Chains A and B, each alone.
Chain A
Amino acid sequence: MTSDRWIVTVLGLLLVTFIIWFFWLKREKGTRAATTSGGYQEAMILVKGGYTPDVIVVEHGKPVRLNFRREEVAVCSETVLFPDFGKSQLLPTGKTVAIEFLPDKPGEYEFSCQMGMLRGKLIVE
């Protein structure tokens, strides 16, 4: 093989390794929801190309209130789903929408947009 082929091959494999590391081997350190005076564990989530923060840590047995604020018009992120809690919510652009539920069992619960392109995780301890 010529040297340019070697360079392309090595660079290609490095790129593949980078993709795997970047997208799949990310560690998750979630954001812990703050407990309010009303007894709710609250967190604010910005919806713009993704959920920020996208990993929320809460305690089980206490009601959770997640305030979603969508700041884009792309139709993709219009709905947020919590399939494990049977919740779905339309998120009008520029409005803060609260979703409330009571996680009673510890575990990891995913939430996503309707197409599953935007994803987040709720870690219940």
Chain B
Amino acid sequence: MTLERLNVPVKTVPSAERIRSIEAALAARDGVARTVVNPSLGSVVIDYDPARTRVGALVEAIRDLGLTPGVARVRLAVKGMTCASCVTAVERALIETPGVVSATVNPTSAQADIVYEPRVVEFEGLQRAIEASGYEAGEVPAASDEAIDGQERERNQEHRLLMHKFWFAAAISLPVMIFSYADLIPGLREWMPMGSAERRVVWALLGVFTLPVMLWSGSQFYTGMWAALKHRSANMHTLIASGITAAFLYSVVAVAFPQWFPKQALAEVFWDVSVVVVALVVLGMALEVKAKGRTSEAIKKLIRLQAKTARVLREDQELDVPVEEVLVDEEVLVRPGEKIPVDGVVIKGSSSVDESMITGESIPVEKHQGNEVIGATLNKTGSFTFRATKVGKDTALANIIRIVQDAQGSKAPIQRVVDQVAGYFVPTVMILAVLAFVAWYDVGPDPRIVYATIVLVTTLIIACPCALGLATPTSLTVGIGKAAESGVLIRSGDALQTAKRLKAIVLDKTGTITQGKPALTDVVPSASFREDEVLILAASLERSSEHPLAEAIVKGAGERGVALTEAEGFTAIPGHGVSGRVDGRDVMLGNATLMKARGVDISSLSADWEHLAEAGKTPMYLACDGTAAGLVAVADIVKPDSMSGIEALRKMGLEVIMLTGDNRRTAEAIGRELGIDRVLSEVLPQDKAHEVQKLQLEGKIVAMVGDGINDAPALAQANVGMAIGTGTDVAIEASDVTLITGSLKGVVTAMEISRATMRNVYQNLFGAFIYNTLGIPLAMGLLYPYFGLLLSPLIAAAAMAFSSVTVITNANRLRYYQPQGGRV
């Protein structure tokens, strides 16, 4: 009996008592010789007899014990399958491969969906298994890529088909136009005069040519109309189809039964109307398909950002694996110039990383041990190893794509109004067309039947429900995509429309305006000390402390380039400060209470202390051998671009309000410095939402900017909640807008894009509305009694075809919009 070893990674490490029971439960299974659960590696090792049990069964057993085995899923394209039995053969070959948990082969898509243990069998092993069973295995493009490519392929097919239909209709329309207007052409006029047999034959022939144009080039109008009629609804296709059919039928009657008409002049044909309308509208639809494809350019760019492979470290070996196979907690290597495959934390090495594709921030970011890296960003200079923290659907990029897709599909409130109108639009146009026909027939000038028919057809054709329906969604799609490119995730059309109407914007101070972390700001020596001496003493002493303030002092000293020494006898005095010996001197750092308790005279420094405290900083006294040596102050410093961001927001006409827990004097000092309109100070964290509500009660539409965790209730209370992103955590539920950059510049960008997008939406809606309200009465001939103005159905067709193209083109203009990002 030969035993094989299976090493299954598990996601959660069980407790010690559980380990024993798990080991026992697994070992009791048939074919299992030995089981070891290794909590430090997070894996279950099983020695088993392959003749008596299978890997899949063991993995299932592990799952049944409440553990989550770290399995990966991959899809492979299988070529050469011709029959149903091939499917079974491939499936069996895969399932019998050690490490494969399950395999399903879909014969229609010719793809195998395989769940397997990446540590047992490699990607190549799976390919080999398929090939061994007599078929070819190939890579399937990543799921998202595939969807995008499929969509693109569909669009291209649709476009090609429509263009063929257009060229066919255009080719037929040439002779049809010439012979329909024979009376205007010398030579033809004489050859086929009105009422002659020649004319009748030619016109009948034209009718024969017209029929395939209507039935093939215009087939989508009829199928579209029929499909809608089955639901007792009507759409653009209904209008076009009834328009061209009316013109066609009139012509058929005119040729077949000219004697039915009281005068010969009335027995006219409108073949030209049918053919040219089909040609123009089909051309418009083809252009629309192309233009609509461009509106989702941004999301395609995002999807294509995804890295294809990753270099992981498995059992001390570097392995190139598809990015889908990377497991959480695996170590991943990245070399200069490579894409970082998934999200993670740097554990070794350092580099600078270009994160612009995700955050919109163009300056590369330095990454050291402990820093977060985002998947799909570009490693520039150094090599490093990182531990994967988020893979597959959980990565920042995957979340961004999902959020953008959802948002692009969402509706702005204004769209709901349009939807209401759209429901009544087409039947209303049909009623108007019928009424216009009746009116022209009853009281119109002669030849009444001709005018009435023209008016009916023109009215049906000029109305364009598409322009109205497309106006909002196309702009939203482009605008939200544009925002995502700049590192701003707008979650819904609702947020976008509200953002445009904002009156006030509340900024949480800590973490939004400021870094959210203390930093060393001031060192004030007393008379007998030098500045660097004070800093050396304070920082050397604080080196042993883990307090965030201490860290800020040590880091500040490092940045100022002073050399630190070792401290002895370090003692922390909770709530007061620290003490110890540095260079043989007794050093204390802390508050006034500590100094007074130890009999240190601090009166010479108290004025400076007051001054620093007033500016919102945290000053600490330093005493050396019983005398006051100086002050060291730390503060949560303002982000470099906060000031320009606030200025830009004010220029947009927003009231900028700062929300902070600081005392009033401090808060107001900072507020003045930054040019903030209003400061809400001494606000307890749990009262933030209430403060936002109070502002809303003043009748303001309020945006709140804060972090997604502590400020969640306030973000939810605000009309628009904007969450400052923290690294890879982009899916912040409470927010309407997520700013990946974590800077106020993102708020400005969000506002600018919202405004530009809504402006675009209004332009589109206005255009579509004006077009229809002017076009339809014109087509009905309302201006005829006054100005003798009547629209030709051919002009109406051109106008209709290009009105929806215009709407989409206008939306696509947004793609070139450049947010100023707070540059003033």
Contact = CB atoms under 8 A, between A and B. Distances in A.
Which bracket fits the contact residues of B?
35 or more
B730 to A, nearest CB: 17
Given A50-B227, A50-B230, A86-B410, A115 B151 contact: no
Interface in A4-20: 5, 8-9, 12-13, 15-16, 19-20
Contact of A50 (B150, B151, B155, B233): B233
A82 B450 CA distance: 46
A24 B233 CA distance: 8
B157 A12 contact: no
A68 interface: no
B486 interface: no
Contact of A49 (B226, B415, B434): B226
Contact of A20 (B405, B418, B431): B431
Given A19-B430, A19-B431, A115 B442 contact: no
Contacts of B424: 24
B27 to A, nearest CB: 34
A5 B410 CA distance: 50
Interface stretch (A32-40, A87-95, A101-109): A87-95
Nearest to A113: B469
B427 A24 contact: yes
A116 B431 contact: no
B431 A115 contact: no
B227 A49 contact: yes
A81 B435 contact: no
Contact of B411 (A9, A13, A15, A83): A83
Contacts of A118: 235
Interface string B139-170: 00000000100110011011000000000000
Contacts of B410: 81, 83, 86, 88
A114 interface: yes
Contacts of A74: 158, 220, 224
B158 A75 contact: yes
B442 A5 contact: yes
Contacts of A26: 232
A54 B232 CA distance: 11
Nearest to A88: B409
B466 A115 contact: yes
A54 B423 CA distance: 14
A50 B292 contact: no
Given A49-B226, A115-B470, A9 B438 contact: yes
Q: Most B CB atoms within 10 A — which of A8, A22, A117? A: A117
A29 to B, nearest CB: 12
A16 B426 CA distance: 13
B607 to A, nearest CB: 58
Interface in B610-624: none
Given A52-B231, A116-B419, A20 B427 contact: yes
B438 A12 contact: yes
Given A19-B434, A88-B409, A114 B473 contact: yes
B441 A8 contact: yes
Interface residues of A, number: 42
A79 interface: yes
Contact of B151 (A8, A20, A87, A90): A90
A117 B469 contact: yes
A99 to B, nearest CB: 11
B514 interface: no
Nearest to A82: B409
B406 interface: yes
A88 B469 contact: no
B422 A117 contact: yes
Contacts of B435: 12, 16
A118 to B, nearest CB: 8
Given A114-B409, A115-B469, A119-B233, A93 B437 contact: no
Interface string B217-258: 000100110111011111110000000000000000000000
Contacts of A50: 227-228, 230-231, 233
Q: Most B CB atoms within 10 A — which of A24, A74, A118? A: A74
A6 B227 CA distance: 34
Contacts of A19: 427, 430-431, 434
B437 A81 contact: no
Contacts of A23: 232-234, 426-427
A62 B220 CA distance: 39
Nearest to B161: A73
B480 to A, nearest CB: 12
Contacts of B466: 115, 117
Contacts of A79: 409
Contacts of B442: 1, 5, 8-9
B189 interface: no
Nearest to B443: A5
30 contacts: A5-B441, A9-B438, A9-B441, A16-B434, A20-B431, A23-B234, A26-B232, A48-B227, A49-B223, A49-B224, A49-B226, A49-B227, A49-B231, A50-B233, A52-B231, A75-B154, A75-B289, A75-B292, A81-B410, A88-B405, A88-B406, A112-B419, A115-B466, A115-B470, A116-B418, A116-B469, A117-B236, A117-B466, A117-B469, A119-B423
Nearest first, the 10 A-B pairs at minimum CB distance are A49-B227, A88-B409, A115-B469, A12-B438, A50-B231, A23-B427, A116-B419, A83-B411, A26-B232, A114-B473
Interface of B: 147, 150-151, 154-155, 157-158, 220, 223-224, 226-228, 230-236, 288-289, 292, 405-406, 408-411, 415-416, 418-419, 422-424, 426-427, 430-431, 434-435, 437-438, 441-442, 465-466, 469-470, 473, 492
Interface of A: 1, 5, 8-9, 12-13, 15-16, 19-20, 22-24, 26, 48-52, 54, 73-75, 78-79, 81, 83, 86-90, 92-93, 110, 112, 114-119
Given A75-B155, A92-B150, 5 more contacts: A5-B441, A8-B442, A12-B435, A52-B231, A116-B469
